[in-house]
Amino acid sequence: MLDLADECTGKWPSVRASIEYSDVAGSEAEARKSSFCRELCRFFDRLQEGFDGLGWEERARCGLDNVAFEIYLQVDLENRKIVLDKLFKYADIDLHLFTELLEILQRHFPECDLTVPALQGYELAREIRRFLGAAEVECVFLKGDTEERLLMGGGALQGLSFDGILKDTQRHYEERGGVEKKRQSIGRGWELPMYWRGREGEEAVLWMQVRIALSR
């Protein structure tokens, strides 16, 4: 098991990251791990360079301890699964966090599925749709006016889809002045919530677990 959290904290202070890596033993597996780590470190170098070039006002908008980027990732090659627990950018730098990370993962682990176990943000969901396609919704936690409910698999998710949630969310914001207006009102460090309109009316998507093949 490889955990880069401590190294990230020291060498790249603007990056809060935990990268867990597990694979079967063997020389080829070790070579792939080394290549992945080298590329990941170069990625973190670019993030830190981007942060170092920011003015003091932009730095002040970042998270606690000047953290500008959060990346929590689990690479489980035995089960051919990449788990993206969190991916968030607080600083306004000219570097696309999701696409940069996705390119690295696709180069090294094309046989794996990408799983996001607690997807909350509308913007990340749109990025997944843009670059990988429509993900499979495995479960979703919804909040209506009077109750919260967890829907898991089978008939419980009938009629609910990844694209449907994105469409309903887009409509929700268009009816209220647009995504940019909402983004400005909630400020930095908060995800744009998603919405679903089903038989129960409109409900907020508190989180959903999705999965999609990296080869898409």
Minimum mean pLDDT among 54-58, 99-103, 146-150: which range? 54-58
Whole-angstrom CA distances from 26 to 30, 32, 37, 94 are: 6, 10, 17, 39
Given a cut of 80, is residue 130 above it in pLDDT? yes
pLDDT above 90 (res 134): yes
Lowest mean pLDDT among 37-41, 66-70, 130-134, 209-213: 66-70
pTM: 0.87
The predicted pLDDT at position 88 comes to 87
Most trustworthy range by pLDDT among 112-121, 145-154, 191-200? 112-121
